[in-house]
Amino acid sequence: MEKDEKIFLGATVTLLIISLLMLFGGIYMQIVLHETKAPLLLGIVAGMLLAIPLELWNFSDPDTLYRVMAFQDRFLMVCFGFAIGFGAILLYALNLIVPSPNFGIKSFFVPGVIIGGIIFGIGVGIAGYFPGTVWIALGQGRRDAIWALLGGLLGAFTWSLIFGYAKPFFWDTLNYGPITWADILGKTSKIGMFEVSLIFGTVLILLFLILPRYPGEKIKDSCGAHILGLSKSVIQFNDLINEEKEKYPHARPFITRITNESSIKNARYILILGAEFTITAVAVIILHQIFGESTTYSWIGAQLSYLLNPMWAASNLYFQLFGGMHLVNGVPVNNPFSEIGWEPLSDLGTFLGGLISATLISKRFMAFKPLVPKVWERRFGPSETKRAIGSFIGTFLVLFGARMANGCASGHILSGNIQMAVSSFVFMVTVLLSAWIVLYGMLRLKINKIGYR
């Protein structure tokens, strides 16, 4: 086994062990210690456990997200299928024995979830960033992520400004509450919810096992066939391998190759890292926290507002929902972590995870050198100014849409779907479709067997 693969394998196994320790620690905390809230500082570890796998598979690179959202590379679909399916079964199995997991099922208010999902998807199609991948990209040293962060902060803050006026339509109209697929089927007991999770989870896991990664591949070369050793084919996306060698000249060759192919090794590493990623997401719920990335953007806006005008910030209806800021006898009170939980710390962990992975494991650290994503460059040219504007506007829309829908890729698509929330499933489908339309219409990214067209 070559050195680079040993490093990759060592990192993968280490992450899996730590995620299992977090999960069993949460179970022990609940059943034996009867404690219901994990220490806030543990959020840094949780953020790192979720960020490092994403950086290893290069999801912090907008080019990667452009391709998967255009379905040119089905990696996101198969990985989320596995994570959501396995996560739902694991969570509701643990729900049979753990006294009180901290379910954070998002309410299904139709206008907010659908319109917010459309805006979110348009933003992803423009910027190539999710709220969480912005933090990873900053850790990876991507220059355009700075503009993405600024756009995201403004987008979240803008929603907080209009929330009092927008809430009656977007959140109160056609609000069906925090319903799940189990609720719709009338399975409200713990056993009933677990039964539904088995069906829901199995369908999504089969999506992971059967759907080939690249267009034009046959089912016999799918991830499941590779995991079981039924297919020994190695299908490499050579265009992307060469492209990444150009973008990341110091990256470990094994990692560059393994993340851009369809093979036995690729599938088995996906399985291990996917299990680690999923176990961490479930552990967060058992530890009585909710994994989310977009809330921190609003929290930062709230804290800055409080520094400038405490009375206005404490009176803001949206800030009062999550920040702990409120008025007591006309006096502003600021308790920044009392209601939001550990999200700011988990986002700090997400940044640190991206930094650690990019500098020590993948070696993709870019030191904020100028580099325009290739998909963007093919459409709009190499101008850094245009890319900065696209990153800013796109991520503005991403965070504005996320706050309107009350969740993002982590809080809605991952964590929400693991909990089988109807709102999260609708949000996910809406985001995928709207991003796909933007990528085809604006960036002209087409599906084919060998790369760009």
In this prediction, residue 444 has a pLDDT band, given cuts at 50, 70 and 90, of confident
Mean predicted confidence (pLDDT) in 404-425: 90
Question: What pLDDT score was predicted for residue 335?
Answer: 62
Query: Poorest-confidence range of 155-159, 215-219, 424-428?
Result: 215-219
Indicate whether 163 pLDDT > 90: yes
Report the distance separating Cα 232 and Cα 369, nearest Å: 39
Q: What is the pLDDT of residues 206-260, one digit of tens each?
A: 888 888 877 777 888 888 888 888 888 888 878 888 888 999 999 999 999 988 8
Domain boundaries of the chain, sorted by first residue: 3-441
Instruction: Output 184 or 239, whichever has higher pLDDT.
Output: 184
Q: Is the pTM of this model over 0.85?
A: yes
Indicate whether 347 pLDDT > 50: yes
Indicate whether 150 pLDDT > 90: yes
Q: What is the pLDDT of residues 82-134, one digit of tens each?
A: 889 999 999 999 999 988 777 888 999 999 999 999 999 999 999 999 999 99
